[in-house]
A and B are shown apart, each in its own frame.
Chain A
Amino acid sequence: GEDVEQSLFLSVREGDSSVINCTYTDSSSTYLYWYKQEPGAGLQLLTYIFSNMDMKQDQRLTVLLNKKDKHLSLRIADTQTGDSAIYFCADRGRTGGFKTIFGAGTRLFVKA
């Protein structure tokens, strides 16, 4: 089946930029999503990008998509301690039956 992979941990200092990376296998992906999960809570949609876009910016968040390499990244500018959470990359595409496939999540630690 289709797969989405992410590194498990990332540690940054407050005020620095964070870059969370993700790779996926579905060559027919239509939409790719980033979700945030705070401790003990459900997943909150942060942003998404359509597969025919290269970049999407939303305030401190920048999403970059390299469709050729099937690589997605989420950049958080001026990272704050409140950004500490698990970030999930997710992919929805035809090959996966239009089901949303999630990565294992990247735990972001922000040091004050």
Chain B
Amino acid sequence: SQTIHQWPATLVQPVGSPLSLECTVEGTSNPNLYWYRQAAGRGLQLLFYSVGIGQISSEVPQNLSASRPQDRQFILSSKKLLLSDSGFYLCAWRSRTGGDNSPLHFGNGTRLTVT
């Protein structure tokens, strides 16, 4: 069966520090991968998605970047965090072979607090 791992679960970082959040998927090949941010009391905002190694699409201009160095690894980064980067970050994957009805499958999320 497929599983998705996301770490760390919580992170407190000072303003101006770098960020690296990692997500890996097991049990499937060539998935579509996604990073979402959930701000308190608000819905999910799609930040980045990737359809293959090295292929990253950005949905919103921001202080963050994403990379996909391996097929099942997706990394969210920042060189210098801002207070506004605080939030709950969710990684998700979707099968590319499961047809149009393939849903998103989410990791357990990372709670980031920038102080």
Per the bound structure, the CA–CA distance linking A92 and B104 in Å amounts to 11
Once A40-B111, A41-B108 are accepted as A-B contacts, the answer to whether A88 and B44 lie under 8 Å apart by CB is yes
Per the bound structure, the CA–CA distance linking A103 and B38 in Å amounts to 11
Task: Count CB-based A-B contacts (< 8 Å).
Answer: 51
Task: With both chains docked as a complex, state the minimum distance between the C-beta of B39 and any C-beta of chain A, in angstroms.
Answer: 10
Per the bound structure, the CA–CA distance linking A40 and B90 in Å amounts to 11
Are B106 and A44 in touch, CB under 8 angstroms? yes
Instruction: Please classify how large the interface on chain B is, using the bins under 10, 10 to 19, 20 to 34, 35 or more.
Output: 20 to 34
Closest Cβ neighbor of A50 among chain B residues: B101
Instruction: Please classify how large the interface on chain A is, using the bins under 10, 10 to 19, 20 to 34, 35 or more.
Output: 20 to 34
| In the complex, chain B residues 36-60 whose Cβ is within 8 Å of any chain A Cβ | 36, 41-44, 46, 49
Task: With both chains docked as a complex, state the minimum distance between the C-beta of B56 and any C-beta of chain A, in angstroms.
Answer: 15
B residues near A88, Cβ cutoff 8 Å:
43-44
B residues near A30, Cβ cutoff 8 Å:
100-101
Judge if A99 is at the interface, Cβ distance under 8 Å: yes
Contact of A104 among B41, B49, B101, B108 (CB under 8 A): B41
B residues near A105, Cβ cutoff 8 Å:
43
Judge if B87 is at the interface, Cβ distance under 8 Å: no
Taken residue by residue from 71 to 112, chain A's Cβ proximity to chain B (1 for < 8 Å, 0 otherwise) reads as: 000000000000000001010100000111011110000000
Closest Cβ neighbor of A107 among chain B residues: B41
Given contacts A42-B107, A105-B43, 6 further A-B contacts (CB under 8 A): A8-B41, A41-B109, A42-B106, A42-B108, A50-B101, A100-B104
